[in-house]
A = this chain, B = another copy of it.
Amino acid sequence: MLNKNIQTFIACDSEYEDSHIVLFGAGFDGTTSFRPGTRFAPSAIRNESFGIETYSPYQDKDMLDYDYFDSGDLELPFGSTSRSVSDIAIRSDMILSDRKIPFMIGGEHLVTLGSVMAVKDKFDDLYIIHFDAHADLRDDYLGQKLSHACVLRRCHEIVGDGHIFQFGIRSGDREEFRFADEHTEMNKFTFSNLESTVAKLRGKSVYFTLDLDVLDPSVFPGTGTPEAGGVSFDELRKAVTMVCSQLDIVGCDVNELSPVYDQSGVSTAVACKIIREMLLAMS
C-alpha cells in the first residue's frame, strides 16, 4: 500500500518520541515594512534541503546518525500580528513541555518573540545570543510595538539587561545603538568577542536567534533588507558551530530568508547548510 507524501527537512524524518530536536516553520512576514517574502522560507528550505548532503566534512558528523523531527508549518493568520506571535508561543511550549528543543524556521524576525516567550517560561535565567545585520532595538516602528524592527527590544523587556549578546550588527538608527550601549552587549560588524561570550555563558540556558542577513549579501542575497559588509559563510559556519556545540541551547530559530529575491537558489542552499551545521553541532 502506498503512503501519503511526507516532506521534511532532509534526514528529519525520525519519530517524534525519538527526537531531541523538533523543527517547525513559522512563515510569518506580516510586519515586514520593506520587501516581504519570508513566508516562503520554510517550504523552500525543505525542498532545497535535498540538494545538500547529510554528512558534514567540517564536523565529520552525519545527520543519519541522529534523530530529528520536522513537525511542519504553523498556519498563521496574516493580518493579525498578535495572534501569530501567540500561535508560535503555543507550538514552542508544546515542544518544550516534552523536554525537546524547538528549532523554528522563520519567517521575519518577529517570530522570535513567540518562541522566546515560551522558552523564558521554562528557563528563568535565560540568555539570548543574536546574530544579525540589524539591531532590531526600536521601541516602536511607525507606532507598532510588534514589529520585526523591535523584536530584540521586546525580548529585552522579557530577559532584562545584560542577557542579550548581539553580533554582526551594522545597521540601525542612532537611538538603537545608544540603547545597546546601555542595555545589551553589542558587537558591531563582526564576531569578535564571541569566544569570550561563549566562555561566559557556558552552563547557562541560551536561546539562539540567527537572522541570516548577518551574512554578506554576496553569499545571501535572498533577504528583505540586504546590508552590504556582512560576515562570510565560513565565519558564520564557525560561529554557529561554536555556539551550538559549546552552549546549552534550549531553543533557537533561523529567520529572514526570502527566497523569492534570489532566483539562483544560493541563499536557500546556504540556509540549509547552516541549519545542518546547527543540528549536527547540537547533537
CA distance A16 to B83 in the complex (A): 35
Interface size class of A (residues with CB under 8 A): 35 or more
How far apart sit A229 and B235, CA to CA, in the bound complex (Å)? 9
Other-chain residue from B55, B71, B173 in contact with A54 (beta carbon distance below 8 A): B173
Given contacts A71-B4, A171-B52, A263-B263, contact A227 B36 (CB under 8 A): no
A192 → B minimal CB distance (Å): 14
- Whether the Cβ atoms of A79 and B30 lie closer than 8 Å is yes
> In whole angstroms, how far apart are the Cα atoms of A98 and B2 in the complex?
11
Q: How far is the CA of A5 from the CA of B47 in the complex (A)?
A: 12
One of B73, B77, B147, B270 near A5 (C-beta < 8 A): B73
Given A78-B33, A81-B80, does the pair A233, B237 have CB atoms closer than 8 Å?
no
Most buried by B among A58, A169, A226: A226
Q: A39 interface residue, CB < 8 Å from B?
A: yes
- Does A2 contact B77, Cβ atoms closer than 8 Å? no
CA distance A79 to B151 in the complex (A): 13
Instruction: Evaluate contact between A143 and B263: CB separation under 8 angstroms.
Output: no
Cβ-closest chain B residue relative to A172: B53
Task: Please tell me if the beta carbons of A143 and B216 are within 8 angstroms of each other in the complex.
Answer: no
Contacts of A245 in B (CB 8 A): none
Give 9 closest A-B pairs by Cβ, nearest first.
Answer: A5-B72, A31-B79, A221-B264, A218-B218, A2-B71, A77-B142, A228-B233, A36-B36, A217-B266
A–B pairs, 17, beta carbons within 8 Å: A2-B22, A3-B71, A4-B6, A5-B7, A31-B78, A36-B36, A51-B225, A55-B172, A57-B177, A77-B143, A77-B144, A78-B147, A79-B81, A79-B147, A216-B218, A226-B266, A228-B269
